[in-house]
Amino acid sequence: MENLRVTDASALSCGDGLVQLDNNFQESDKLEDKLLEGLDSYLQDINDRLTISRMVSDSVIKGVVSAVKQEADEKIAQKELEVAGLKGMLHLYHVDVDEKEFLGSPLTCEKEFLGSPLTCHKSKSSCHPRTYYKFSDNFVENDRLRESMGSLRNVAELQFKILKKEIDRMRGFSSIRRIGSGSEQLGLGGILRDKVSERWTDVDVILEALRATIDDVYIQVEDMFQLSKVSRCAWQQEREFQAEIEGMVIKNCIRSLQEELEERFWDQNARFCGNESVNWLEKIQEISSLRQELDDISKSLSGHEIGQLTSLMSLEIGEEYNYNKRSDHFQRKVLSNHGSSSTLIWEGNGKHEDTKNNTPESSDPAQLKLMPKDELVFEMTKMRRNHESKLQEMTEKNFFLKRELLRLRNGGSSLPLKKDKELDMLKTKIPHFISRLDGILLENEALHAFGENADNIGCLKDRLESLLSENRHLRDSLSDKKKEVTCLTSQVSDAENKMSYHHLIEAKLLCDVEDAHFKHSISEDVYKCALRELMCQIKWVTEESDLQCNTLQDIYKIFFNGAIHGTELSSEYEIEDSDMESIITQALCGIIYREALKDAEEKVSCLNTKYVNENKIRVSLEVEAQEKEAAIRLEVANKERLKQKIYSLAASLEEKPELLQERSEESNVMKGNLDKALEKIAQYKVKMCELNQKLELAMGKLRGADEERRMLHDSNQEKEKALSLVKAKEKENQMQMESIIVLVHGLWKAVHGLECRVKENISNISLRLIFWAMKLMLF
């Protein structure tokens, strides 16, 4: 019995020691679980705060950009309104100048001098005070008028040609009638000796005068168009000057906006940098204090865990040999599962996955062999989680039973209270540290945003410089193109003038050719009429000779018949004498007839020779007539030129006083314009001086801004150095955190070992409890 009591006492003492060890293990497990939960929540809070800070910074940047954009749009709208007002003022000025030029232009005076109703109507409409025409419309109208005048000139030339043809035709008919009616004027010499009547000379003079006046009108119109071209060139120069002024105004507006934006950005950066420089030392001190506190926490945790491990190792030396083999196998399995789970946990952005599945899933080894690597890892994690959940349930049941036993026997101890207090202190400190670290991270992001803003400003400056260089290149190319266009327009105008001159020359040559053809046709008609009359005369002479022959033959026949009748009445005795007389008369008639035939032949031969000579004379006269016609044409042309020169000189002499008056008026107008231009030049010079002063002030401001930029650059470099130091310290903190994580992994491994040992101790204790329960039941 005594032995049994001693064994019971020893068993109770061993049970109390085991209960205390179980309590210690339970408290250490709770601490580890709480630390893991706190680490997960810490990482989640860091991620949430980082995302919130990024969203806030993005929204702030967007708001600043939108505000700057709105202000820039408002200023651009104001500048556009100012430019529109300036354009309206310039337009009104140009309209007034156009009215003055149109009222005092020589074009309207010359049109009024011509006296046509259309030009008078136009001059009245131009003088009306309410009509304001633009230069472009006037140029279009001038081009149309020029085309219409050219067409009218061609029509007038055609009408003159038709009139000349009709007059020459009438003149030819009258000459032919005179030739046919005159009995004395026979042959070409008489026709050429005819003179032109006074009426035809008067008609020719009137036609020449009309042609000269029309030519003078065309010349004056051409002068007017040339003056309009000059005014057009002046208008183009004014437009170019206006465009240059507008470009300068727009450049100044853009530069002012750019300077304002740069000043704002630099002010914001300076404020941000100033605040950073003020709070920089405090932040460094906070980071150092956080590091010390984290070191202290890590040391306290490591010391506490080492003490627990030594106590556990000292208490369980006697039972190492029994469970070493089993614990080694189980520990390897747990470590392998922990490695795979840790990779999965850290791949999921720091989020811990809680195991809540209570029912295990059985899988065949053949299926596991056929599965790919990812599915195998997934199945292994599932199995590990199910196993851990079962172990946790069993341990909770064990700890619950042990607590009930301890409450029934001793009523608790003071160690768990101390550990709970320490854990509460750690829980209160950890969120404070987390908030501090979040503030540091936000400031680091702000510094990163500041660096990005500086880079963006540099990129914008480079882009603006490239755009300005491209704008200058384009303006240079535009100026070159404008010069080329002006050269081409001048060449085109010269070519048009030459073409018009060539067209006039061609029209004159065509008129001369047509006149020559007409004269040649008239001369041919005249020669044909003369030849016809000559042939008629020759026929008349031949007919007269035939009539003479016939009459002689009739006379001789009558004479012979009378002789025959006289011989028949005479006696037969006188037959021989009558026969002799008849024979003699026949012989005489034969002689007479022969002589008459000879005379007729001689006359015909003379007529033939005369006809041949007259033909030769006609050919020579035709040649002489052609030569004389050519000489006459030359003389007529020279006379016409001389007449035109005389008319032009007379017209110029008549127009000289009017031209002098017009030139004097134009010179006075030009003097007034020059005086105004000189006044404007003086005003522009004053404005240029003011602008130069403003430029000097702006250059001074830019120099000050450059100095400020240099200062800011130096401060940025110092801040970058400080940031590099902060980054180095952050790296050190990360290394420390990694060492803490390694320690946590070691603790977790030790906890797993303790779990294995606890399970073995629990199994032993359960067997002992069963044994002692059986004994108690027996007793």
List the domain boundaries for the chain.
243-296, 342-385
* Arithmetic mean of pLDDT, 677-686: 77
Instruction: State both tokens at 126.
Output: 């131009």
Give yes or no for residue 328 having a pLDDT over 50. Answer: no
CA separation for the pair 611, 524 (Å, rounded): 20
Quick one: pLDDT at residue 603? 74
Q: What is the pLDDT of residues 369-421, one digit of tens each?
A: 677 777 777 877 787 788 778 888 887 877 777 777 776 665 444 445 555 56
Quick one: pLDDT at residue 459? 66
Quick one: pLDDT at residue 362? 43
Q: pLDDT: is 332 or 626 the higher one?
A: 626
Classify burial at 767, counting beta carbons within 10 Å of its beta carbon; exposed 0-12, middle 13-18, buried 19 or more.
exposed
Q: What is the pLDDT of residues 754-779, one digit of tens each?
A: 778 878 888 888 787 788 877 777 76
Q: Is the dihedral of CA 229, 234, 236, 237 positive or negative?
A: positive
CB atoms within 10 A of CB 616: 10
> Which residues are CB-contacts of 221 (< 8 A; sequence separation ≥ 6)?
110, 146, 149
Q: Is the pTM of this model over 0.85?
A: no
Give yes or no for residue 315 having a pLDDT over 50. Answer: no
Least confident of 135-149, 533-547, 650-664, 671-685: 135-149
Q: pLDDT: is 665 or 417 the higher one?
A: 665
Average of per-residue pLDDT values in the chain: 65
3-state secondary structure 676-712: HHHHHHHHHHHHHHHHHHHHHHHHHHHHHHHHHHHHH
CA separation for the pair 287, 241 (Å, rounded): 66
Quick one: pLDDT at residue 285? 59
CA separation for the pair 250, 80 (Å, rounded): 9
Quick one: pLDDT at residue 634? 83
* Arithmetic mean of pLDDT, 713-734: 81
- In one letter, which amino acid is 589? C
> Which residues are CB-contacts of 442 (< 8 A; sequence separation ≥ 6)?
49, 53
